[in-house]
């Protein structure tokens, strides 16, 4: 016990957090407006699955709703129930569809199931027989071979005069397999296939383009687009300068700064041997927080293919990761920064305005989607917006 008084004050959780995430809601809504403009005559929805790509479905969903989004896509019924509280008049589509035991939650929260398989379709027909008219969406596979009704089955269903009158889809949709590669021939093949499907469902909204598909041009836009990663500042198209505003900034506190002599090694497996006397900053983030081990500077298989590991940003400069990232800690080499430029308690940017999330992803051998959606529960979040 101490023999001196400790003044207790209301905690500023963000200021004192070991890990913190700043979400720029103005950038988020501006990105949505940008994608809405690029969608031309089509309406732009907002994809907020995976807790709005890690940003927080409550705050992100409400901001997008206030910006004008009226169509939303979530992955699960739980996400839809949460979003309904923040988007009261929106049309909310549940991509995983409806399953026995979830009917009440769909109806009570006015959620629209996306029907993606013969089994779901049969169950949905049985539900309609008991409950009467209720909207749904149909997901049709045009070559992705992931989810979706077969094309021939979907087209036959459109012309099936024996189908129940209460079966009334409000949307028919598909998904591009290679939209992030504008030159890929698969895009045009899927476009032609989807045109056949949408023609069979004349008068019903059609949707093919997610973020990457929007950049492919108006032929791919149909009635409704589905921007996702672009809303959150991520790259949607390969080898194209990213026009989106960064939304998330992740930071970790520096716990310790230490000087290590030339010739000594750093971290697990002695993965890095220092060639000079070095100053190292140990930050409170690791792979348990989604800061992936694969972007370590050494001691991981990926470095054999991509020599450079990840970087952070502190004191106005990018600094390299030193050695292996561990569960809760990452070491950064700050030797090239001025003496005393970094102190214990300072914060290093893991990704954000100075270290694009997709650069972090490339160093980790993955994509920005995975970095954003893999952040653990230890990030204290702050939401900022321009007045």
Give the residue extent of every domain in the chain. Answer: 39-232, 248-384
Give the pLDDT confidence score for residue 164 in this predicted structure: 77
pLDDT digits (tens, 9 = 90+) for 249-287: 999 999 999 999 999 999 999 999 999 999 999 999 999
Domain with residues 39-232, CATH architecture: Alpha-Beta Barrel (3.20)
Distance CA 58, CA 87 (A): 9
The catalytically annotated residue of 49, 86, 287, 347 is: 49
Mean pLDDT of 181-205: 97
Distance CA 171, CA 93 (A): 10
Give Cα 166 distance to the centre of its chain. 35
Is 318 a catalytic site residue? no
Residue (of 229, 194, 197) closest to 210 by Cα position: 229
CATH homologous superfamily of 248-384 equals Lyase, Ornithine Decarboxylase; Chain A, domain 1 (2.40.37.10)
Q: Is 146 labelled as part of a ligand binding site?
A: yes
Asked if pLDDT for residue 5 goes beyond 80, the answer is: no
Distance CA 350, CA 43 (A): 34
The catalytically annotated residue of 131, 201, 268, 353 is: 268
Asked if pLDDT for residue 113 goes beyond 60, the answer is: yes
Is 268 a catalytic site residue? yes
Residue (of 113, 55, 112, 63) closest to 86 by Cα position: 63
Whose tokens are 């321009």? That residue is 386
Q: Is 125 labelled as part of a ligand binding site?
A: no
Task: Name the pTM for this structure.
Answer: 0.94
Asked if pLDDT for residue 1 goes beyond 50, the answer is: no
Asked if pLDDT for residue 8 goes beyond 60, the answer is: no
pLDDT digits (tens, 9 = 90+) for 295-321: 999 999 888 887 889 999 999 999 999
């Amino acid at each position: 016990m101490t023999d001196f008084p400790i003044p207790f004050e209301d905690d500023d959780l963000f200021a004192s957090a070991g890990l913190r995430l700043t979400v720029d809601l103005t950038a988020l809504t501006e990105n949505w407006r940008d994608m809405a403009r690029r969608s031309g005559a089509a309406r732009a929805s907002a994809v907020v699955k995976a807790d709005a790509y890690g940003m927080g479905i409550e705050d992100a969903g409400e901001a997008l709703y206030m910006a004008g989004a009226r169509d939303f896509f979530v992955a699960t019924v739980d996400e839809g129930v949460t979003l309904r509280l923040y988007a009261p008049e929106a049309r909310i589509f549940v991509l995983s569809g409806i399953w026995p035991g979830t009917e009440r939650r769909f109806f009570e929260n006015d959620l629209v199931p996306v029907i993606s398989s013969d089994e779901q379709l049969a169950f949905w027909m049985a539900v309609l027989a008991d409950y009467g008219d209720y909207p749904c969406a149909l997901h049709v596979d045009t070559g992705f071979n992931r989810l979706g009704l077969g094309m021939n089955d979907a087209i036959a269903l459109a012309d099936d005069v024996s189908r129940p009158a209460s079966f009334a889809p409000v949307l028919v949709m598909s998904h591009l397999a290679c939209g992030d590669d504008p030159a890929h021939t698969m895009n045009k093949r899927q476009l032609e296939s989807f045109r056949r499907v949408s023609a069979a469902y004349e008068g019903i909204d059609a949707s093919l383009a997610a973020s990457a598909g929007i950049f492919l041009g108006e032929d791919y836009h149909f009635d409704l687009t589905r921007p996702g990663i672009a809303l959150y500042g991520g790259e949607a198209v390969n080898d194209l300068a990213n026009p989106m505003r960064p939304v998330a900034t992740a930071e970790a506190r520096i716990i310790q700064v230490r000087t290590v002599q030339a010739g000594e090694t750093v971290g697990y497996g002695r993965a890095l041997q220092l060639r000079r006397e070095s100053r190292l900053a140990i930050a409170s983030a690791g792979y348990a927080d989604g800061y992936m081990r694969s972007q370590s500077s050494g001691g991981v298989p990926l470095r054999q293919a991509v020599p450079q590991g990840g970087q952070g940003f502190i004191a106005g400069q990018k600094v390299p990761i030193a050695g292996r990232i561990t569960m809760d800690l990452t070491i950064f080499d700050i030797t090239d920064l001025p003496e005393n430029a970094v102190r214990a308690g300072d914060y290093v940017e893991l990704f954000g305005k100075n270290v694009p999330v997709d650069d972090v992803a490339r160093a980790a051998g993955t994509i920005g989607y995975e970095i954003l959606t893999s952040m653990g529960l230890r990030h204290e979040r702050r939401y900022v917006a321009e007045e």
